[in-house]
Structure 1
Amino acid sequence: MSSISFIGVGGMAHAIAARAVTGGHSIELIGRDPANAKGLAAELGVEATVGTFGTVPAGDIVVLAVPYTSAVPVVAHYGDALAGKVIIDISNTFNADATALVVPDGTSGAQEIAKAAPASAHVVKAFNTVFGHVLVKDRPLDVLFAGDDLQAKASVSAFIESLGLRPLDVGGLEMARWLEGVGPLLMGLARNGAGTFDVALSVDFPG
């Protein structure tokens, strides 16, 4: 297994890191306040490495677990410290009432993050189509992902599978906009047709 770095120590970082630990990965937790990273490590019950914000992350895979409003500035702040890394963007880009996306037509949050990242880094969109509180449950789930670099996508796919989840590749990074559009779709489903936020999308392959 490998070392996975998390920039951001909120709910989604907790959910993915918990599965990563179970999957045998070592984890590095990075927050602007090291006390918050140490707090998450304590919640997880593991001896995670606590990294320094803005320095080179230890992991070859870096989970960017911050809100989209912070994502581009954080990546720009890191600059060349992210060179050669596979960056998993888990952010959602919908507005306050989850009825529309805040990014302009023709692009996505993931693509804007990729523009801010070093040329040798590769951004893969993943995990934004699964609610964090659902992700922490020990159940099979589908994780849709998109990216332009085949090797980076293979690494992310293997990582997803190691978490006991099913990776489903939807294509190049231009597809990230449509993955981000799943956010409002899920919110609408939870509030209306399902009547609960304990929902997840799955894909069936008829035999």
Structure 2
Amino acid sequence: MSSISIIGLGGMARAIGARAVASGHAVEVVGRDEAKAKDLAAALGGGATAGTFGTTPAGDLVILAVPHAGSVPVVTEYGDTLAGKIVVDISNTANADATGLVTPDGTSGAQEIAEAAPASTHVVKAFNTVFGHVLARGGSLDVLFAGDDAQAKASVSAFVESLGLRPLDAGGLEMARWLEGAGLLMISLGRHGAGTFDFSLGVSLSG
């Protein structure tokens, strides 16, 4: 099993953390509010611990579970403590009214994070096409991911699979923009065609 650090204390942090603890991973949760981090660690159980924000994450795999607007500032603040780590960006980059992406054409939130991180940090986009409340319910879901480093992607894929989920490799980190676009599409579907956010995005193989 892996050692996982989750930076962020929201619904996705809780959902991924719960699955990770249930799967036998060593889990560290980290947030600016130390008391809330300790409360989340206690709620997760399974030996989960609360780390100190801004210090070197204990996990080899670092789940960056913060909103897009805070992701680059957090990575910048952590600086060299992320060197050699695999950072998993789970954020979506939809604008306030979910009619478009806030990132410029030709880039993505994940690529901005990669530019802000140390050169030896490997950024992988994952989990942004899964709603947190759906993930928290359990069951098998598809998790699309993208990244440039083969070994980092293999580690993320193995982690996703260990949670009882199906990892699907979408390609290099340049595909993160399209995964973020898929996240926007899911929000729009929830508001319109689906009429509910109780659904998941998956791939069905035929033939």
Letter in 1 for 2:62: V
Superposition deviation, residue 34 in structure 1: 1.0
2:93 equivalent in structure 1 = 93
Q: Distance in 1 between matches of 2:51 and 2:44?
A: 16
Contact 1:98 1:183 in 2 (8 A): no
2:31 equivalent in structure 1 = 31
| Structure 1 residue matching 2:19: 3-state secondary structure | helix
Superposition deviation, residue 2 in structure 1: 1.4
Q: Distance in 1 between matches of 2:43 and 2:96?
A: 29
Superposition deviation, residue 42 in structure 1: 2.5
Q: Distance in 1 between matches of 2:62 and 2:36?
A: 18
Contact 2:127 2:144 in 1 (8 A): yes
Q: Distance in 2 between matches of 1:128 and 1:166?
A: 14
Contact 2:21 2:48 in 1 (8 A): no
| Percent identity of equivalent pairs | 73
Q: Distance in 2 between matches of 1:33 and 1:120?
A: 28
2:144 equivalent in structure 1 = 144
2:200 equivalent in structure 1 = 200
2:85 corresponds to 1:104: no
| Structure 2 residue matching 1:27: 3-state secondary structure | strand
Superposition deviation, residue 49 in structure 1: 1.5
Superposition deviation, residue 33 in structure 1: 1.4
2:45 equivalent in structure 1 = 45
Q: Distance in 2 between matches of 1:25 and 1:46?
A: 9
For residues 62-112 of structure 1, what are the alpha-carbon distances to aligned partners after superposition, in whole Å with 9 as ceiling and x for unaligned?
000100100000000100000000000000000111110000001000000
TM-score by length of 1: 0.98
Q: Distance in 2 between matches of 1:156 and 1:176?
A: 15
Q: Distance in 1 between matches of 2:57 and 2:89?
A: 15
Q: Distance in 1 between matches of 2:192 and 2:73?
A: 35
Q: Distance in 2 between matches of 1:81 and 1:199?
A: 37
Superposition deviation, residue 152 in structure 1: 0.1
Q: Distance in 1 between matches of 2:155 and 2:186?
A: 27
For residues 95-132 of structure 1, what are the alpha-carbon distances to aligned partners after superposition, in whole Å with 9 as ceiling and x for unaligned?
11111000000100000000000000000000000000
Q: Distance in 2 between matches of 1:7 and 1:33?
A: 11
Contact 1:7 1:65 in 2 (8 A): yes
Superposition deviation, residue 46 in structure 1: 3.6
Letter in 1 for 2:165: L
2:185 corresponds to 1:188: no
Q: Distance in 2 between matches of 1:58 and 1:133?
A: 26
Q: Distance in 1 between matches of 2:26 and 2:8?
A: 16
Contact 1:51 1:57 in 2 (8 A): yes
After superposition, the CA RMSD in angstroms is 0.8
- The count of corresponding residues between Structure 1 and Structure 2 is 207
2:66 corresponds to 1:66: yes
| Structure 1 residue matching 2:145: 3-state secondary structure | strand
For residues 121-162 of structure 1, what are the alpha-carbon distances to aligned partners after superposition, in whole Å with 9 as ceiling and x for unaligned?
000000000000000112110000000000000000000000
1:3 equivalent in structure 2 = 3
